[in-house]
Amino acid sequence: MASVAPLGSFAGSFDKKDDRQYFELIKYHLGVGAEKNSVEDFYKNVAVPVLNGMGISPVGVFRVRYGANSPTLYVLIQHKTIESFTTLYDRLMDNEEFWKDGSDFLNAPLANPAYVRIEKILYRGFKDMPAIEVPKDKLSNNGRIYELRIYESHNLKAAKKKIDMFNEGGEIAIFKNTGLTPVFFGETLAGPMMPNLTYMLVFDSMEARDRNWKTFVDHPDWKSLAGDPQYADTVSNITDFILSPAPFSQV
């Protein structure tokens, strides 16, 4: 069951002056039969156009290249406000275009479901990277890959300290200076394996990924930051996925 962090740990999260946006990551567990591609087709032909028409963008759609063992599709949606996230389901239920164009998918029978199950995770953007940064210079590269990394912590204090390491500690800046191009950094507000933070990087290829990570690990600024005792023992486990974008993905 997904967990939700204590309200006190996010004091001030909903300050109207806060420009941090909210990211919804949807994980579709797919079947293995004829309907395996129906979720991707639905987003291409129906969901993405409808969401964009509602002012919700960008929408990223990703296939798993290395990571999860079962058929899976990830969808990344950015919300400008928390209200956009909490009201989206009701707005889609009232959207005639959504139901008309997506009727086959939305009304799939029990004997032939479009997917097995859905998981959702809600993130809030980091202070130093409050929104999704679409890698516009890489979108034309059909061979580009994305890396999704989840950093778990053993308690809320350690999780907050790791976020501080990215912001105040300057780890985001080191990423950018060493060729690690971030798409988003998110503090997990609701989802599994909490407390954790999640971020996504984009690379031109697997070879570029390996090369840029080595540049990062060998960089003196990173070595200095990694040796700072105030950030010791802030990460207890790391989960890593390599994703490929669907041809129509907006991220």
Sign of CA dihedral 102, 146, 195, 18: negative
Q: Which helix (H) or strand (E) holds 96?
A: helix 96-101
In this structure, how many other beta carbons lie within 10 angstroms of the beta carbon of residue 204? 18
Q: What is the pLDDT of residues 101-122, one digit of tens each?
A: 999 999 999 999 999 999 999 9
CB 124 within 8 A of CB 199: no
Q: Which domains does the chain have, with CATH numbers?
A: 18-245 (3.30.70.100)
Number of neighbours of residue 6 by Cβ within 10 angstroms: 7
Enter the tokens of residue 115.
């997917």
**Between β-strands 181-191 and 117-125, what pairing exists: parallel, antiparallel or unpaired?**
antiparallel
* Model pTM score: 0.90
pLDDT in the model for residue 33: 75
- 217-228 pLDDT, tens digit per residue, is 999 999 999 999
Tell me how far apart the alpha carbons of residues 183 and 177 are, in angstroms, rounded to a whole number.
Answer: 15
Q: Is 57 left (phi over 0), alpha (psi -120 to 50) or beta?
A: beta
Instruction: Quote the distance between the C-alpha of residue 38 and its chain's center.
Output: 21
Residues of the chain with confidence (pLDDT) below 70: 1-17
